[in-house]
Amino acid sequence: MRASDRIFGAVVVLGSLAYVASASQIAAPFFSDPLGSRAFPMAVGIVAAICGAMMVFSPDEDPEWPAMRSLLALAVATVLLVGYAYALRPLGFLLPTAIVSAVLSFQIAGRPVAAVLTGVGLSVGLWLLFRFVLGLSLQGLPAGWG
Amino acid sequence: MDILANLSLGFSIALSPYTLMLAVLGCFLGTIVGALPGLGPSNGVAIMIPLTFTLGLDAVAALVLLTSIYYGAMYGGRISSILLNIPGDEPAMMTCLDGHPMAKNGRPGDALVISGVASFVGATLSTIGLMFLAPILANIAYQFGPAEYFALYLLAFCTLGGIASKNQAKAAFASCLGIMIAMIGLDPNSGMARLTGGNLHLYDGVDFLVAIVGLFAVSEVFFFIEKHGAQGALNVVLGRVTVPWRDIWATRWTMARSSVLGFIAGVLPGAGASLGSFLTYVTEKSIAGEKGGFGTGVPKGIAAPEVGNNAAAGGALVPMLTLGVPGSGTTAVLLAVLVTLNITPGPTLFTDRPDVVWGLIASLLIANFVLLAMNVPMVKVFVKILDLPPAVLMPFVTMVAFVGIYSLTGSYFDLLLVTAFGVLGYVLRKLDIPTVPVILGILLGGKMEKQLRDAMVLSDGDWTYLVSSPISVGLLIAAFLGFIAPMFLRRILRKPTPPETAKGRD
């Protein structure tokens, strides 16, 4: 099976062409240099599309994709990190960090008690490190709690 | 004796207690980073960058700290290669071949000492090489105009990943992807927004630090989750560490040859330390022949790749400092640091900021001695660190990376981008698409376009201007050769050696 490269190559071709199309719409300023704002991004986009086409026509062997369970774990980790990005400001450093590092630790080693300890330990330890040793102004607790 | 005067300036900066302390700290952290499987030099430097800025280090201090980590990681990479048979980082892969067998034969201490000394020889000689070669190259680089720089960037993209990657289309795509991401943001010439999709967060462009941390550090975490942290256990008992003088002396010519070869591999744009260790190992193996016993745990087989990758690490700094074109993934990361510190690498760096250049070189020389001390008599400390389970290490790395980025920009959007780059990095690495060209594209894409546009302004739109000087023609030819050569070389290198019976026919 060589499906991975073909699919990825097709995505690259479509994405690159969309990029070229969008680059061709860049508004032209009144005064411009001979080359202008559009030419270079469009040229690079076209080269990328050619590379994508080459991946479609001469693909490599498929890599070993993880099993469904691992993929699910990866999806959970991604959602968690996205959530972390949104939670860091309103909830402060300690709580989100403890949750994310505990879950990541559990996903890597699969030991629940060790994972909780890792989460709490990392969260408090890093907070002390960042706040008092490195002097970053990190909000520790949720806004309004101190 | 310009160099001596400059060097004494460098040492006057490097020997200040504060700088010295940073160098020692960097060496220590670097060796840890290198020794831990899954944390390579690029990762280690990448997660430290945001912290460097929030600590408010000045240019010299930041650079000393980060390059010490870089050198330290090059030393440390061998520890897990030898003891676990898992390379701590990519260039240390070749050290597994003879290092682990020697450790299994009951000589782990000797293997660590030989490789430590080899690292020292390679790194010191290449730092001296850097000292002499860099000013010469800087003088040549003075003659570079927009056309030459454009050709130079093209050369970097064409050769980068060429040898490391198996598929040229994939390497080229990786470069294009980086350049395409670099185009996002305000057009430097006209001030108009380009390709932002109307998202105000993207008007400043994509910060390459965000891309680096995502592609290197976060994607590594994903790999650990996929593998559930499966890691080889320490199956070698390390007893008393003594210095096998005889073995080290026996490898002196191997070390000398490998230093030169590794340094050259490092200087070539885009080749880097992995190529350095590969070339030196293969060369020494063919010099030693069948009787050399390479692969069974011989001292030369340990010394060659370690000298090679450390010499390449120094060599890779040459194009980075003189031309602003990094020779490897980690030097690309270091270049990002310089750019963020408002220091433009290039020929003018040597005249405008001699304190930066020579302070760095002097610190590197000092760092080598510190590293030798840490990696030979104190190596046991770092062996202990291999017991740190990934289930603690990887969450730690993730959190430090995220907080570093957050404290730098204070924007939740950048944290989203880090995650996105982490997913992208995972997919790219799964498909065997190199990630270093992506970083280089983001870093140099904007400059490459600017040089091209400047060239067109100077020549009033005449394309032949790009091939009007011998330097730019030479660089363009080198770029073309650098792009197609791996396709043929790969075929030759892969070709299985013909069996003995087939040789006697002619």
Which residues in chain B are closer than 8 Å to A127, comparing Cβ atoms? Answer: none
**A49-59 confidence digits (pLDDT tens):** 999 999 999 88
**Nearest neighbour of B225 by CB, restricted to A8, A73, A93:** A73
Task: Please give the interface size between A and B, counted as residue pairs whose CB atoms are below 8 Å apart.
Answer: 190
* 3-state secondary structure (DSSP) of residue B454: helix
Count: domains in chain B: 1
Q: Is residue B502 part of a domain?
A: no
Q: Is residue A41 part of a domain?
A: yes
Which residues in chain B are closer than 8 Å to A8, comparing Cβ atoms? Answer: 427, 431
pLDDT given for residue A34 in this prediction: 81
User: Same domain, yes or no, for A40 and A83?
Assistant: no
User: Same domain, yes or no, for A81 and A109?
Assistant: yes
Helix then strand then coil, % of chain A, to nearest 5: 70, 0, 30
Distance (Å) from the alpha carbon of A14 to chain B's nearest alpha carbon: 13
Q: How far is CA B138 from CA B1, B99, B230, B319, B324, in A?
A: 17, 38, 47, 9, 10
Are B398 and A81 an interchain contact pair (Cβ–Cβ within 8 Å)? yes
Q: Is residue B499 part of a domain?
A: no
pLDDT given for residue B497 in this prediction: 38
Are A40 and B453 an interchain contact pair (Cβ–Cβ within 8 Å)? yes
Count: domains in chain A: 2
Q: Which amino acid is at B161?
A: G
Name, in order, each residue with C-beta under 8 angstroms of B223's C-beta and a sequence gap of 6 or more.
Answer: B38, B426, B429
Distance (Å) from the alpha carbon of A79 to chain B's nearest alpha carbon: 9
Which residues in chain B are closer than 8 Å to A99, comparing Cβ atoms? Answer: none
pLDDT band for position B240 (cuts 50, 70, 90)? confident
Distance (Å) from the alpha carbon of B69 to chain A's nearest alpha carbon: 18
User: Same domain, yes or no, for A53 and A89?
Assistant: no
pLDDT band for position A120 (cuts 50, 70, 90)? very high
**B156-208 confidence digits (pLDDT tens):** 888 775 555 678 888 899 999 999 999 998 887 777 788 887 787 888 888 88
pLDDT given for residue A1 in this prediction: 65
Q: Is residue A143 part of a domain?
A: no
Are A47 and B390 an interchain contact pair (Cβ–Cβ within 8 Å)? no
Q: What is the average pLDDT across B230-236?
A: 60
Q: Is residue B289 part of a domain?
A: yes
pLDDT given for residue B501 in this prediction: 32
Are B423 and A78 an interchain contact pair (Cβ–Cβ within 8 Å)? yes
B322: domain range? Answer: 2-493
Q: Is residue A119 part of a domain?
A: yes
Are A51 and B169 an interchain contact pair (Cβ–Cβ within 8 Å)? yes
Q: How far is CA B116 from CA A50, B178, B244, B262, in A?
A: 46, 36, 12, 16
pTM: 0.85
Are A65 and B394 an interchain contact pair (Cβ–Cβ within 8 Å)? no
Are A108 and B189 an interchain contact pair (Cβ–Cβ within 8 Å)? no
Dist. CA B315–CA B327, nearest whole Å = 8
User: Same domain, yes or no, for A75 and A128?
Assistant: yes
Dist. CA A114–CA B81, nearest whole Å = 28
Which residues in chain B are closer than 8 Å to A82, comparing Cβ atoms? Answer: 416, 419
Which segment of A125-129, B33-37, B372-376 scores lowest on mean pLDDT? B33-37
pLDDT given for residue B334 in this prediction: 84
User: Same domain, yes or no, for A48 and A73?
Assistant: no
Percent of chain B with pLDDT over 70: 91
Q: Is residue B332 part of a domain?
A: yes
Q: Is residue A107 part of a domain?
A: yes
pLDDT given for residue B182 in this prediction: 92
pLDDT given for residue B230 in this prediction: 59
Winning range, highest mean pLDDT, from A60-69, B325-334, B486-495: A60-69
Which residues in chain B are closer than 8 Å to A97, comparing Cβ atoms? Answer: 399
pLDDT given for residue B297 in this prediction: 86
Please name the residue of chain A whose CA is at the shortest distance from the CA of residue B441: A44
**B103-162 confidence digits (pLDDT tens):** 888 888 888 899 999 999 999 999 999 999 988 888 888 888 899 999 988 888 887 755
Q: Is residue B500 part of a domain?
A: no
Please state the three-class secondary structure of B143-212 as a single string.
CCCHHHHHHHHHHHHHHCCCCCCCCHHHHHHHHHHHHHHHCCEECCCCCCEECCCCCHHHCCCCCHHHHH
**B430-485 confidence digits (pLDDT tens):** 998 888 888 888 888 888 999 999 899 888 888 888 888 888 998 899 888 888 87
Q: Is residue B506 part of a domain?
A: no
**Could you say which of A30, A57, A84 is where a domain stops?**
A57
Q: How far is CA B182 from CA A47, A111, B399, B442, in A?
A: 15, 42, 26, 5
pLDDT given for residue B495 in this prediction: 39
Q: How far apart are the first and last CA of chain A?
A: 57
Residue B223 exposed, middle or buried by CB count within 10 Å (0-12, 13-18, 19+)? middle
Q: Is residue A123 part of a domain?
A: yes
Q: Is residue A140 part of a domain?
A: no
**Nearest neighbour of A35 by CB, restricted to B394, B399, B452:** B452
Q: Is residue B501 part of a domain?
A: no
User: Same domain, yes or no, for A53 and A75?
Assistant: no
A8: domain range? Answer: 3-57
Q: Which amino acid is at A118?
A: T
